[in-house]
Amino acid sequence: MTGQNRPSDAAPDARDHLHGDRMGDALSDAATDPVEKAATPGTSKKRSARPSRARSGAGARRVTLAQVAEVAGVSRSAASFVLTGRTDQRISDETQARVRSAAAALGYRPDVTSQILRTGQSGTIALVSEFVASTPYANRIIGAALDQARKHDTVMFIAETLGEKDTEERLLQNLVDRRVDGFIYASMFTQAVTIPDVLRGIPLVLLNCCAPDDRVPMVIPDEVEAGRAAAQTLLQHGHGEGIHYIGGPTLDFRGGPEWGGRVGTAVHDRLAGVKQELAHAGQALAGISETDNWEPQNGREAVATILAQGRAPTALICANDRLAFGAYQALAAAGLRIPEDVSLVSFDHSDLAGWLQPSLSSIALPHEEMGALAVDLLMSEKPRTGKHAIRMTLHQGNSISAPHPS
């Protein structure tokens, strides 16, 4: 990364470095190595002999506080007091004006690194997840969180671990080293997590995941309520005996077997809510199709199996939109119409729900709301701790009607 790839060939700057690997070399023998190579690119052996002719172009300007002070004819301290707005220090209005205009004239920007070094605070937060940014399922969490951070006038970084503990450790340590002031620890799908040790002692909000520690605010979708809503809308349309559930409670995802259908997961809670609501109306599911995964293929297979077994259901509740997509395909293949022959309701309300024909009634995963709330909680002085269950709301499509009189 030396420098052919510069938009400006004018000015080599201090960033020039070669990729020797300093820390790595130094400590490679220490197997237990606590001082792991902090990915510090080396300046070691042949440090570029380039004179750091420093600033020239626009990007390189580094006006220091000392320069501002000099121009304003005051001490650095005074300049600092003015620019940091310290009201407990007495600086005459006239001097304040001089400092401010000097700063403006020089285009002074405080050096963030020094500020961090001195204050221990960076004024930034980070959203750390395994796969939220790098997969197409929960991205809107990110957009909403960024948007909210902007409203709080805070810069938010996104960091992604790709699910590897080792990477996570390094990444978090690096962020902590950079004095990130607070963390949002997010998960692509709702699950239980262990709070990494590195984060202890730093403001934290869990997003779409939960931990046993009740002192941490956790933002999760209210899946039970969502399940109830799904059942309710079908009941309201007159369905009752012929409701079949696809998705099932045994889904393993990545959480390992012990995670499977535990309380607090989409897998468990959506179904639990459905059952509750039906029971409340004196009904019960006609059947449950457990699927290994929640992709269209699984939906197709499940529906095909159900249909092969005889009586077609009057309605299907699918654990997510992709399963529902598969159901659409299988129903079409069997010559059954939606919603005339079979009604469908699903969860997530992804783009897919709007793409299908007829459009799919789906209960939205409130990713936007969750992302925004997580930021609000992190930024608040005294956040309410524990679980914050966000309501999942039904987005009506055209996939539900009264049951076909059979």
Structure tokens, 402: 């009264």
Contacts to its own copies from residues 75-104, by CB under 8 A: 82-88, 100, 103-104
- Alpha-carbon gap, residue 185 to 132, rounded angstroms: 11
Residue 154 is a binding residue for its own copies (CB under 8 A): yes
Structure token pair of residue 52? 């750091």
d(CA 294, CA 299): 7
Using the structure block, give the residue that is written with the tokens 């009264």.
402
Residue 390 in contact with its own copies, rule: CB under 8 A: no
Q: Is 318 in the site for its own copies (CB under 8 A)?
A: no
Determine, following the binding rule CB under 8 A, whether residue 315 of this chain makes contact with its own copies.
no
| Nearer to its own copies among residue 51 and residue 405 (C-beta) | 51
- Residues in 166-225 at the binding interface with its own copies, rule: CB under 8 A: 167, 170-171, 173-174, 176-179, 181-182, 195-205, 211, 213, 215-217
Compute the least distance from the CB of residue 69 to DNA, in Å.
Answer: 7
Burial code (b: 16+ CB inside 10 Å, e: under 16) for 307-317 equals beeeebbbbbb
254: partner contacted, choices DNA, its own copies, none (Cβ within 5-8 A by kind): none
Compare residues 115 and 276 and give the one whose CB is closer to DNA. Answer: 115
Least Å from the CB of residue 287 to its own copies: 24
> Nearest to residue 183, comparing CAs of 221, 209, 212?
209
Considering only 75, 77, 113, 305, the residue that binds its own copies (CB under 8 A) is 113
Q: State the amino acid at position 91 in one-letter form.
A: I
Residue 284 near its own copies by CB under 8 A: no
Cβ(112)–Cβ(62) below 8 Å: no
- Is residue 128 close enough to count as binding its own copies by CB under 8 A? no
Helix (H, G, I), strand (E, B), or coil: what is residue 364? strand
Report the C-alpha gap between 279 and 315 in whole angstroms.
16
* Binds its own copies (CB under 8 A): choice among 50, 53, 77, 150: 150
Residue 139 lies near its own copies (rule: CB under 8 A):
yes
Residue 184 sits at φ, ψ, to 5 deg, of: -110, 120
Least separation in angstroms between CB 39 and DNA: 10
Neighbouring-strand partners of residue 155: 124
**Interaction between residue 66 and its own copies (CB under 8 A):** no
Smallest distance from DNA to CB 26, Å: 10
Q: What stretch of H or E contains 191?
A: strand 182-192
| Partner from DNA, its own copies, none contacting 90, C-beta within 5 to 8 A by type | DNA
Q: Which is nearer to its own copies, 160 or 269 (CB)?
A: 160
Q: Tokens 């998705």 — which residue?
A: 247
> Could you tell me the smallest distance in angstroms from the CB atom of residue 305 to its own copies?
17
43 vs 193: CA distance, rounded Å: 39
